[in-house]
Structure 1
């Protein structure tokens, strides 16, 4: 199984009553990793991102290009960025971590979970900078009566099929922009 070829370590931090558990995963991606192992890595990231509170960190070698402006230079780097976006993960390191490249990442699925990120000197003979950060945990989980959808678990193919079956040319015929938007919005809400 390709998942066995990925190098990772998972740690669970048990929350106190009223706070959720936090999953911390550390990954190493060798620079010469094969496409099939990269796909396994993305599947594992997808599974991990369903955790309530996740911190994913590690050396994701071969990431080339700008993080913020989405200018990944290699196909594998672009696929990795798509994996991060598809799983709604946030990158919290702002500085380059190794020789002008962003190889070491700290990702989270919950805004505000990771804070006080600092890059320190190297450990031993390593040419990577050490990354120090705090995992910030709320004292009590907020309970809301407002129901929201979890788009990380959505079946976008089914939504696409449901909306694709509609005769849009007839449904929107003779309608203005505002009225067309309301018709589309109604069908989208029904599909959800």
Structure 2
């Protein structure tokens, strides 16, 4: 096994993150591990610099990213958030096809510490447990899996191989676009359409 530090996002505003590439770790090839700490009041320019790093890392290969991202308003079950900076973070995770795998709170009832991956079969045995030392955050543990065998994921996904696209098209055409989305903000319209789409 060979480890190498990655310097991502050179020449940009520094974000509190570190990236390591581990070669020959799994049957998926090399793995990129990242760790990040995001200040609760972090400036937008630093967020954008981190998003560029994340985009670069997710295009390299299998990725596991962990850290305290300080977005307590994100509701991960339906990928929604109240604050603009949290919605930008969600958009970045969606754009890079990342899945968040921690299910319970990690600090005082809030889910601040996340583990994200672009290959669900890469991460297993995820659990948040006791605090380490005097920290008020729960310690998160997971394993990088070498093979493709893993416990069945509890995350629901859509199986497009079994889809009836004719019925799907008919149901999609029935969404009342003009009246439902009239005089609404773009973000709200997008969420309404997404909810209809997921119900279909």
Shorter-chain TM range is: 0.5 to 0.7
Highest relative contact order (Cα 8 Å, sep 6+), 1 or 2?
A: 1
1:123 equivalent to 2:132? Answer yes
Task: Report which of the two structures shows the higher radius of gyration computed on alpha carbons.
Answer: 1
Shift of 1:13: 1.6
TM-score normalised by the chain length of structure 1: 0.68
Distance 1:81 1:17, change over 3 A: closer
Q: 3-state SS of the aligned residue for 2:92?
A: helix
Q: Where does structure 2 lack aligned partners over 5 or more consecutive residues?
A: 1-9, 149-165, 170-200
RMSD between aligned alpha carbons?
A: 2.3
Q: Where does structure 1 lack aligned partners over 5 or more consecutive residues?
A: 140-177, 182-192
In terms of fraction of residues, the more strand-rich structure is 2
Q: Which runs of 4+ in 1 moved over 6 A?
A: none
Q: 3-state SS of the aligned residue for 2:52?
A: helix
1:109 equivalent to 2:123? Answer no
Q: Residues 122 and 144 of structure 2 are in contact (CA less than 8 Å); yes or no, is this contact kept in structure 1?
A: yes
TM-score normalised by the chain length of structure 2: 0.65
Question: Which residues of 2 match residues 71-150 of structure 1 at below 5 A?
Answer: 71-138=80-147
Q: Residues 3 and 44 of structure 1 are in contact (CA less than 8 Å); yes or no, is this contact kept in structure 2?
A: no
How many pairs were matched up? 142
